[in-house]
Amino acid sequence: MASQISFDIVSDFDFQELKNAVDQARRDIQTRYDLKDTKTELKLRETELTINTDSEYTLQAVRDILESKLVRRNLSLKILDYGKEEASSGGRVRQTVKLRKGIPDDLAKQITKRIRDDFKKVTPQIQGSTIRVQGKSRDDLQAVIQMLKGDTSYPVALQFVNYR
């Protein structure tokens, strides 16, 4: 009679939205008076973004512009993992930003343990880089989602998909 209801916890982002945000940031950088002549480059790849600019000051300004564009497109800033600032050729500054996708194993174990401790009527399972949570009551699953949404201490952005 009572079937299992489930949802998946994932950490993902829309690459097309990220691409659009980077394009908007490029246009903003080209038109801003203080950044116009810095020859700043933003190179987006599948797993990383490289920022190459004149100085540390312009690097910080570029990061601020990029982050504002990401927020405007409903992308979490937790997908960005800033690397070290490196000196590049010609006295320039380069920074590589890794793009976080998926839930790491240690964090997945921590999340499933917390769900098991707080909610006895649901069962979480780790499936690769996702966590599937199953239960008999929709209310229990909604409570799990609200608990995870309320906790912002996780280093990755969590999304809840395949709710059925």
Is 19 in the same domain as 92?
yes
Asked whether residue 47 falls in the same domain as residue 120, the answer is: no
CATH number at residue 113: 3.30.70.860
pLDDT band at 88 (very low <50, low <70, confident <90, very high): confident
Asked if the model's pLDDT at residue 1 lies above 50, the reply is no
Quote the CA–CA distance of 94 and 50 in Å, as a whole number.
Answer: 7
Q: Select from 67, 99, 131 the last residue of a domain.
A: 99
Residues 87 and 130 in one domain: no
pTM: 0.83
CA angle 106, 109, 110 (to 5 degrees): 85
30 and 95 together in one domain: yes
pLDDT tier at 2, thresholds 50, 70, 90: low
Which tokens sit at 50?
Answer: 């490289």
Over residues 150-158, the mean pLDDT reads 86
Range of the domain at 106: 5-12+102-161
Last residue of a domain, one of 50, 80, 99: 99
Where residue 55 falls among pLDDT bands split at 50, 70, 90?
confident
- CATH code of the domain in which 29 resides: 3.30.70.990
Q: How many domains does the chain have?
A: 2
Q: How far apart are CA 53 and CA 39, in angstroms?
A: 6
The token pair that represents 65 in the structure block: 């512009």
My answer on whether 32 and 46 are in the same domain is yes
Model confidence over 20-32: pLDDT tens digits?
999 999 999 998 8
Q: Is pLDDT at 16 greater than 90 in this prediction?
A: yes
pLDDT (mean) for 2-7: 81
pLDDT band per the 50, 70, 90 thresholds, residue 128: confident
Q: Could you tell me which residues come within 8 angstroms of residue 58 by beta carbon, excluding any fewer than 6 positions away?
A: 34, 35, 38, 40, 93
| Residues 82 and 111 both lie in one domain | no
Specify the pLDDT at position 15: 93
Q: 88 and 68 in one domain?
A: yes
